[in-house]
Amino acid sequence: MHIAVTGNIGAGKTTLTTMLSKHYNWEAQFEDVDHNPYLDDFYGDMSKWSFALQIYFLGSRFRQVKEIRESGKNVIQDRTIYEDAHIFAENLAEMNLLSERDFKNYLSVFQLMKDFVSAPDLLIYLRADVPTLVRQISKRGREYEAGISIDYLSKLNNKYQNWIESYKEGKLLVIDVDNLDFVEKQEDFGYILERIDAELNGLF
Ligand SMILES: Nc1ncnc2c1ncn2[C@@H]1O[C@H](COP(=O)(O)OP(=O)(O)O)[C@@H](O)[C@H]1O
Ligand SMILES: Nc1ncnc2c1ncn2[C@H]1C[C@H](O)[C@@H](COP(=O)(O)O)O1
């Protein structure tokens, strides 16, 4: 079984993926952030580094897709390949931070890869308003993320909303995390588990 957690920067994906992997004994797959060779430079100069970063994330996410397919285990994945293309790359192109020819070039590679990608059995979307995202990004305290603008987060949030509204590839669970503290409050984590269990029952 393949479960994926999706959502904007700082929504709580990595934290929830870690907690769910322990709770259900699923194998967790995380994003390549700490050893990412472009992320720091990207936030310093988005226009210069956007193409290199997108290709890096695409390759890294496709490697995960391959591993999930080959492992035969129950896996929970922190963010999907769809988000790289439909949210981040598309947004950078719209903001003119990724040139038209680079975006076209990127999309042609993504389209080829897409044929080998299966949608997760369950997609869990953590929806949060921008102030929540800002608070949680600052709580995490990665230096290179300190300059992320409200405008960038809002644009990504709009893209997430549109993408989720049109998502038909598989089962979808939307969790509004603005008023949930699943890190500190056991009852909030319990509420999320109840909602996931209800979806999992429908899968078997
Ligand atoms: N619902 C929540 N309530 C309180 N703190 C949260 C919540 N979700 C995430 N956090 C905190 O916010 C920070 C960012 O969360 P993280 O899981 O790294 O987000 P993401 O992986 O979506 O970018 C972490 O310090 C985490 O502990
Ligand atoms: N495809 C991407 N393009 C640009 N930036 C990306 C992409 N995928 C992830 N990121 C960034 C956003 C954050 O700064 C880090 C980690 O993501 P997070 O949502 O905090 O787990 O990578």
161-181 per-position pLDDT tens digit: 999 999 999 999 999 999 999
Can 78 be counted among the known catalytic residues?
yes
Which protein residue has the closest C-alpha to ligand 2 atom 20?
9
pLDDT the model gives residue 204: 66
pLDDT, residue 203, reads: 77
Mean pLDDT value of segment 90-99: 98
Reported ipTM: the value is 0.94
For 120-150, the pLDDT digits (tens) are 999 999 999 999 999 999 999 999 999 999 9
Structure tokens at 193: 């588990």
What's the pLDDT at 202?
78
pLDDT tens sequence across 47-60:
999 999 999 999 99
* 186 annotated to a ligand binding site: no
- Residues forming a β-bridge with 127: 176
**Residue 185, ligand 1, Cβ within 6 A:** no
Per-residue pLDDT band for 91 (boundaries 50, 70, 90) equals very high
| The pLDDT value given to residue 9 | 98
Residue 104: which residues within 8 A CB-CB, separation 6 or more? none
Residue whose CA is at the smallest distance from ligand 1 atom 4: 181
Residue 31 CB–ligand 2 contact under 6 Å: yes
**For a pocket test of ligand 1, which of 13, 19, 136, 193 has the largest count of ligand atoms closer than 8 A to its C-beta?**
136
* CB 98 less than 6 A from any atom of ligand 2: no
Domains annotated on the chain, with CATH: 2-201 (3.40.50.300)
Residue with tokens 């934290």: 15
**Predicted confidence (pLDDT) per residue in 193-203, tens digit:** 999 999 999 77
Contact 165, 65 (CB under 8 A): no
